[in-house]
Amino acid sequence: NLKEELVELDKKHFIHPTSNMKQLQEDGPTFIFTEGDGIYLKDVEGRKLIDSLSSLWNVNIGHGRKELAEVAKKQMEKLAFTSTFNNWSHEPVIRLAAEIAKWTPGDLNATFFTSGGSEANDTAFKTVRHYWKIKGLPEKKKIISRKLSYHGVAMGATSATGIEQFHTFTTSIAPDFHYVDSSVESLKELIAKEGADTIAAYISEPVQGSGGVNLPPQGYFQAVREICDENNILFIADEVICGFGRLGTNFGIERFGVIPDIITMAKGITSGYAPLGGMILSERLHNDIIEKTEGNFWHGYTYSGHPTAAAVALKNLEIIKNENLMDNVNIVGKQMLEGFEWIKEQNDNVDNVRGMGLLGAISLEKASKSVEPIGPKIVAKALEKGLICRSVIYDGQDTLAFAPPLIITKNQMDDMITIINESIKAVK
């Protein structure tokens, strides 16, 4: 039996990222996936499931897109890999960097590439510190992030992450990271306490993803932008989830009428078809660094600007534009939120529903204030009914998170809403 064989090998040899190791030893992996098509995943037992989180908030154009496979094959046959270190370059990475500049707001026109979001954020933290250093302000190095934020697991990224478990997992977190709650007052207080001349940058996701799909308070980012300007603090938007259409705009921060100094991105740039991320710098920062840096930019990954990943990204961006996927996000996203409201009306264990674009959440907090979270049970029930979704239980929350592929149709969204509703009802 193939499944049994794979489960045993998985348990013995494979270390799962962000997982419960003990549970995996007992139960083995819940899914061993074999195929994907559109919003659906198929597993080794032939189950067909709606992938309501786009796998990891990233398979935005859906599974099984042959166009991307073809582009990857062509690029691999022609030039699968070469470096971009120092003075080397190649066409796919140049074209992709130029294309990204068309997508960004303001003068965010130059991109440094990584293999994912964690590296993108570490790159941004090192770059802002380098920037202030060459400006003669080496003490301007602290990074402010928000509680319940998720910025990845590289040393800087995990230090900026505002979810406690990622810190207590290890014995030390990098110095010079500070956390604020989502009020403007807290940010002001922290800056006053630490001193603006010690703070390099503020980082936030436009809508927090892993922390439970948390929307910012009204007017929050506009106020943050002003505070950053007044205090000479750089504003980094972590667009790893929200970038490239998830909120119905090119970048999520545009929904809040704010232009950051730096964008970090990953996931949606390739819809997961190849590992790729990056840091996008404003022209002002880029030019300042060019002018004032005497030596090299002493930072780079082997896979900074991987040709095959770059070619895949270009095709993915073309698909998002050509298929008007952001229009779909706005239409089906509205339907999703209405569906969630409808679910809330019928289920008194639903406390709060929220969303923006095709990023949404259902909070079950009311029912579980003093009892065990019910989210995990609802997730198990949904699975029986053919839907994969995520439960977030950090920090006393009890939330279901959703981020379906941007290609999801109205009928498919109806199916999704129906299954979620039935699953919540079944767990009552």
* Residue indicated by tokens 């989210």: 375
Retrieve residue 69's tokens: 């496979």
Q: How far is the CB of 306 from ligand PLP (least distance, A)?
A: 14
- Determine the Cα–Cα distance for residues 56 and 247; give it in Å rounded to an integer: 16
Dihedral sign (CA 240, 242, 244, 246): positive
Residue 173: how many other CB atoms lie within 10 Å? 16
User: DSSP states of 260-311 as a string?
Assistant: -SEEEE-GGGTTTSS--EEEEEEHHHHHHHHHH--S------TTTT-HHHHH
Positions that interact with ligand PLP (CB under 6 A): 116-118, 121, 150-152, 205, 209-210, 238, 240-241, 266, 277
Residue 202, judged by CB atoms within 10 A of its CB (0-12, 13-18, 19+), counts as: buried
Show the DSSP H helices in 110-219 as ranges: 117-134, 155-160, 164-168, 184-194
- Strands 399-402 and 359-363, by their bridges, are antiparallel
Q: Which is nearer to ligand PLP, 38 or 116 (CB)?
A: 116
Q: What are the strands of the beta sheet with 234-238, ordered from one edge?
A: 108-114, 277-282, 262-265, 234-238, 199-204, 142-146, 177-180
Q: Which is nearer to ligand PLP, 150 or 273 (CB)?
A: 150
Q: Which is nearer to ligand PLP, 213 or 424 (CB)?
A: 213
Q: How far is the CB of 198 from ligand PLP (least distance, A)?
A: 24
Q: Which is nearer to ligand PLP, 109 or 208 (CB)?
A: 208
Q: How far is the CB of 151 from ligand PLP (least distance, A)?
A: 5
Q: Which is nearer to ligand PLP, 207 or 233 (CB)?
A: 207
Q: Which is nearer to ligand PLP, 281 or 359 (CB)?
A: 359
Q: Which is nearer to ligand PLP, 240 or 427 (CB)?
A: 240
Report angle CA 167, 162, 52 to the nearest 5 degrees.
Answer: 105
Q: Which is nearer to ligand PLP, 92 or 211 (CB)?
A: 211
The residue number whose beta carbon is nearest to ligand PLP equals 117
- Determine the Cα–Cα distance for residues 241 and 69; give it in Å rounded to an integer: 23
Q: How far is the CB of 411 from ligand PLP (least distance, A)?
A: 29
Q: How far is the CB of 112 from ligand PLP (least distance, A)?
A: 15
337 and 360 Cβ atoms separated by less than 8 Å: yes
Q: Which is nearer to ligand PLP, 115 or 423 (CB)?
A: 115
Q: How far is the CB of 399 from ligand PLP (least distance, A)?
A: 15
Q: How far is the CB of 245 from ligand PLP (least distance, A)?
A: 15
Q: How far is the CB of 252 from ligand PLP (least distance, A)?
A: 10
Q: How far is the CB of 227 from ligand PLP (least distance, A)?
A: 21
Return the bridge partners of 244, or none.
none
Residue 410, judged by CB atoms within 10 A of its CB (0-12, 13-18, 19+), counts as: exposed
Q: Which is nearer to ligand PLP, 116 or 375 (CB)?
A: 116
Residue in 308, 390, 411, 377 with CA at minimum distance from that of residue 57: 390
Q: How far is the CB of 8 from ligand PLP (least distance, A)?
A: 28
Helix, strand counts (H, E) of the chain = 16, 15
Residue in 352, 340, 329, 351 with CA at minimum distance from that of residue 408: 329
256 and 108 Cβ atoms separated by less than 8 Å: no
Q: Which is nearer to ligand PLP, 209 or 339 (CB)?
A: 209
- Determine the Cα–Cα distance for residues 226 and 242; give it in Å rounded to an integer: 22
Q: How far is the CB of 238 from ligand PLP (least distance, A)?
A: 5
Q: Helix, strand, coil: what percent of the chain each, to 5?
A: 45, 15, 35
